[in-house]
Every structure is written in C-alpha cells, then in structure tokens.
Amino acid sequence: MIKNLKNLTDEQVIKLTEILEEVWRGNKKMVDYSLKSAKYIYINGRFISCCTAKPSIDKTMWYDDEGKGIDTNFNSFVSYNKSNMPRLLDPDTSWYLDIAYWRQKGRDLLSVRGCTHWQEPEDGWEEMTEEEIKEINKAIQEVRDDYKKRLEMYYKKYSDKICARGYWVNR
C-alpha cells in the first residue's frame, strides 16, 4: 500500500483510483502519480487532497552572495528546507473545498482553497467545517512529521553532497 493512503480503507482506495482514472481518462501513469503525490483523506463520503505527500528536499542551499554564507550543518539544512514543508491551515483564513480537477464529474474529490479577508470565494466553493479543518491539519501534520524524518535520513546519507551557493540577488 502507498504510504500516504494508509489512512484509507481498501474500498476507499479503489473508489479514489476510479475517480482518478476518470479524470485522467485511463492514463495509468497519471493515476499512479496522483495517488502517490498527494495526501488524501476521506471525510463525509468525499476525498480531500490535503497537500503534497512528499515535499521535495533541496540539497543546494542558495543565499545572497553579498551576505554571510550558510553553513551546511544539519540545523541549517533543516531550516532551509522548512520552506518546502506544507503549512497547517491558518485559523485566520477562510478555507473552502473545491473540485480538485476540472474534468471530474461530481464532487467526490476535492482540494483545499484559502481566502484571506480581502478575497471572495469563487462560485462552487464550499466553506469548510471546523471538523474538516481539524482532520486536514491532522493529515498535514503527518506529512510534516514524515518530512522531518526524511530530512534526517537524507542528511545522514548525503551530508557530503549538501552545499551552499551564493547568487546575485540584487544585480
């Protein structure tokens, strides 16, 4: 079983796969990619794509060459890569659910959309309940925890390949 689908039952994985096959018109590679690349949860009879299941890890840490360089130690590496980590849903933002793919029929697969106080939600967006926000944050936290472990393992294995490079920020 795919790690990011472990919270789904076998029946739910089959249903999600059917939805993605419809969206991608039977393209098996895209279905597999979609299943592996996103963290899905199942709430109230619908699937929600919460965030990227495996955020990328940057081995090259870029910095402004007019400033002080970055050390390639573990703390700097983790701090630099935190920008790739998915963020928990902020309670000060209005959160909505919308269809994940424009080709899909029905509202069985949704994705998260946010609106700040000066934005208006688009037609068809459903405001999320506190329960949905709580469950999505729980799923995002699982991805964050997994990402921290992946960073540790990556650093242990490839610390000699991690580098810091300066670049021209303002020129």
Question: Tens place of pLDDT for every residue, the chain, 171 residues?
Answer: 577 788 899 999 999 999 999 999 999 999 999 999 999 999 989 999 999 999 999 999 999 888 888 899 999 999 999 999 999 998 778 899 999 888 788 889 999 998 877 778 888 899 999 899 999 999 999 999 999 999 999 999 999 999 999 888 776
Q: Which residues pair with 48 in a beta bridge?
A: 41, 110
Give the number of other CB atoms < 10 A from CB of residue 125. Answer: 17
* CA–CA separation, 43 and 135 (whole Å): 8
Pairing status of strand 46-52 against strand 109-115: parallel
Tell me if 140 sits within 8 A of 50, measured CB to CB: yes
* CA–CA separation, 94 and 30 (whole Å): 31
Amino acid at residue number 38: A
* CA–CA separation, 154 and 143 (whole Å): 16
Model confidence, pTM: 0.88
